[in-house]
Structure 1
Amino acid sequence: MFTSTSYSADPKEKYEQLTFQLDALLTGETNRYANLSNASALLNQFFDRINWVGFYLNDHNKELVLGPFQGLPACIRIPFGKGVCGTSALKQETIIVADVHQFPGHIACDAASRSEIVVPIVKEGQLIGVLDIDSPEVNRFTEEDRVGLEKFTDVLVKFL
């Protein structure tokens, strides 16, 4: 049903197709965890060359707690300002890390991860959490990924 081979080769078009599929998949469902679970599964099918995709959710505006994901078991709690996810949450901005070993304070949940992109999820000015995607390849994520994933989370927010 949702496979990465069914997407256009053009990155902008590819992300437009992804966000359209997300909207169609989540329309009518109001459960936050069901929607985050399906969003992580959809992203796992969309991306190649990744080893983890999922969500960390805001817990009382002091730390992130593991939410729905696809991949190996992960860190459960991440304080705001720590690692890539905690830094993205604190600053409420997308962070692309070409080589996680060069990111000060990187939290290594999976030793195979080499690059990462983290996108904050904000609704009505409130941080809901972050979308985190890891890859075993250095420099896996691009500016096109940032733009596309920010649009993806804009659609996702409607269902949270």
Structure 2
Amino acid sequence: MLFEKLKPEVVKILGKNDTSITDRLHEVCQLLKDTITYYDWVGFYFKNGDKEELKLRTYVGEETSHEIIPFGAGICGQVAVSNKNFVVPDVQAQDNYIACSISVKSEIVIPLFKDGENIGQIDIDSNSRDPFTEEDERFLEFVNQEVATIL
């Protein structure tokens, strides 16, 4: 399975202690976008200090103006509040969706926990409708667990 082959690559990238954390996160984004055909935009958002908002740290894909997302707004903002995975098979069916691009059809957001606290998330947009499976969720949970070890 593709995800099983990617796990050691993610661990290897995150283990590059001579590289900045942001650069390592960016490299993980690039790996996922380049390897998983339906991952068209991959990024990491983190809680912005003490503010009730998320700040985009790094991403790969089409440019976005959504560098700051208030808690509760859009899919990412909802995950910041709910602390739960959010898989959106069809973004047009979501009332509280912040459109990044007209080509985006679906989205998956997985919260990132450090010491039990939701400190960020990985956000993936797809230009395909309903491509995300439970395997995507488990794999992205693994990615976030590994990311938490370097923060």
TM-score of the two chains, using structure 1 as the length reference? 0.86
Identity of aligned residues (%): 34
CA contact (8 A) 1:40 1:70 kept: yes
Q: How far apart are the structure 1 equivalents of 2:21 and 2:117?
A: 15
The Cα offsets for residues 29-82 of structure 1, whole Å up to 9 and x where unpaired, read as 273212211111111122102321111111124001111100111111111111
Match of 2:54 among 51, 58, 64: 64
Match of 1:96 among 69, 82, 87: 87
* Partner of residue 106, structure 2: 115
Q: How far apart are the structure 2 equivalents of 1:24 and 1:36?
A: 12
Computed over aligned residues only, the root mean square deviation of the Cα atoms, in angstroms, reads 1.4
Matched AA of 1:146: E
Q: How does 1:6-155 map to 2 (within 5 A)?
A: 10=1, 14-29=2-17, 31-59=20-48, 60-74=50-64, 75-155=66-146
Q: How far apart are the structure 2 equivalents of 1:22 and 1:143?
A: 19
Q: How far apart are the structure 1 equivalents of 2:139 and 2:12?
A: 17
Q: How far apart are the structure 2 equivalents of 1:79 and 1:144?
A: 29
Superposition misfits of 4+ residues, deviation over 4 angstroms: none
Q: How far apart are the structure 1 equivalents of 2:68 and 2:107?
A: 18
SS of match in other structure, 2:104: coil
